[in-house]
Structure 1
């Protein structure tokens, strides 16, 4: 690995004068690898070099925004905004930049601004991560209490990627709350097939418990309760179950 990285580090310098555009691309790709491995300092140095060659390169600016977002301090998060804006200004059709900017805006709770970016990314046909933009848009709609648009976004995400397990789970809860039990059951079962019965988190198990109860499936409910208690005894979901276990309300929330 060290030999590979050394070669990659030398390549942009050799290309710098002959092919500046390619040098920026190589440095940006290298920075992405540094970010994935957690070496944020090396990524920052490499992106600085890329932006010294072309300060308006859309991908390099986007990657700098991602880097600062991942570093996570208030100073870095404040700086990240301007890099994402530069990336989109340089290339308004850069769906990845819009998706990443939308995710950043979601993180800092600028929900309406995030939706504006995620909608563009989610509507860009051919963009490989389109479904993720739609998933995040759906999550924001849920936070805003707009279950109708959340449902629409999650359904679009499933159309873009039929294995979008996040959309399956979120839709199953939306339908459960509306007492559309058949639809909730179908999507929850589809989710379990995708992730595996033993790989469910506390929230997924809690959704499954409520759906099983709505179906009067006593045995299925108990199996999921046992799994939640064994794996996540301190979770808010299990504590909520303990509060509601004797409740006769039709919909447990």
Structure 2
């Protein structure tokens, strides 16, 4: 009862602070997977002010996390309200863009993510640009994907996703020197032994293009040992005797 009285008093004395506290609490609940408690906290926040941008954004995230069709449909309205209330809320645009990407509304996602990605001072703008690049790759627009990944690297020189994606783009364009530089930078950044199957497969193809048989074999051994059932290793087995200039 004391806790309820304290929360109620806070809501009356300082509504803005009360909304902020409940929204932050909901974020913590979402991180731990306690979606019911997060929903209760956000209902309280939105009861105080139904158009609060941060609370609406967090409700969108919560419903997206729950993932059912009903929740996903509801999430859209909360994200839109968050942005309409505060069009400069880059985090809301980034989260809405991620939601639109997940629901395969790619053109809308690109629009929202590009706004977040070009908002100077927003510390996650490089991630928004990475996602723009991924969407462009998904829809087959390699030229714009390359531009987006380059922008992400300008925003954050440690954008490892952009390094890896650009290294494959350059490899496929037979720009081997640029591909090699970025792949090596990526491998140093994440650690040689911490690469996933896709990263190793990109490295294998770049090493082959450089006629680096020893380096290629090291990566093949790593791929075989760590990811023997992966599509990447199966692809290597298919192509290992191929004489094609570019392995795809």
Does TM-score exceed 0.5, indicating one fold? yes
1:109 maps to what in 2?
A: 104
Measured in 2, the distance between the counterparts of 1:233 and 1:185 equals 25
Deviation, structure 1 residue 11: 5.7
Equivalent residue runs for 1:204-219 within 5 Å: 204-219=199-214
SS at match of 2:228: coil
CA change 1:9–1:68 in 2 (3 A) is: farther
1:58 maps to what in 2?
A: 53
Deviation, structure 1 residue 10: 7.4
**Could you list the runs of 5+ residues in structure 2 that have no partner in the other structure?**
none
1:69 maps to what in 2?
A: 64
Equivalent residue runs for 1:27-176 within 5 Å: 27-176=22-171
Measured in 2, the distance between the counterparts of 1:56 and 1:129 equals 24
Residue 178 (structure 2) pairs with residue 183 (structure 1): yes
Measured in 2, the distance between the counterparts of 1:10 and 1:130 equals 40
**Could you list the runs of 5+ residues in structure 1 that have no partner in the other structure?**
1-6
TM-score if structure 1 supplies the norm length?
A: 0.95
Measured in 1, the distance between the counterparts of 2:3 and 2:141 equals 47
Measured in 2, the distance between the counterparts of 1:103 and 1:224 equals 33
CA change 1:9–1:71 in 2 (3 A) is: farther
Deviation, structure 1 residue 144: 1.3
Deviation, structure 1 residue 9: 8.0
Conserved? CA contact 1:69–1:77, under 8 Å: yes
Measured in 2, the distance between the counterparts of 1:222 and 1:77 equals 46
Measured in 2, the distance between the counterparts of 1:248 and 1:153 equals 33
Conserved? CA contact 1:51–1:57, under 8 Å: yes
Measured in 2, the distance between the counterparts of 1:73 and 1:225 equals 40
Measured in 1, the distance between the counterparts of 2:199 and 2:5 equals 47
Deviations 1:163-209 (A, max 9, x none): 11000000000000000000000000000111001100000000000
Q: List 4+ stretches of structure 1 deviating above 2 A.
A: 7-14
Deviations 1:118-172 (A, max 9, x none): 0100110000100000000000011111111111111111111111100000000
Measured in 2, the distance between the counterparts of 1:35 and 1:14 equals 25
Residue 194 (structure 2) pairs with residue 203 (structure 1): no
Measured in 2, the distance between the counterparts of 1:214 and 1:8 equals 66
CA RMSD, 1 decimal: 1.3
Query: Given the alignment, which residue of 236, 241, 244 partners 1:246?
Result: 241
TM-score if structure 2 supplies the norm length?
A: 0.97
Aligned length: 247
SS at match of 2:150: helix
SS at match of 1:17: helix
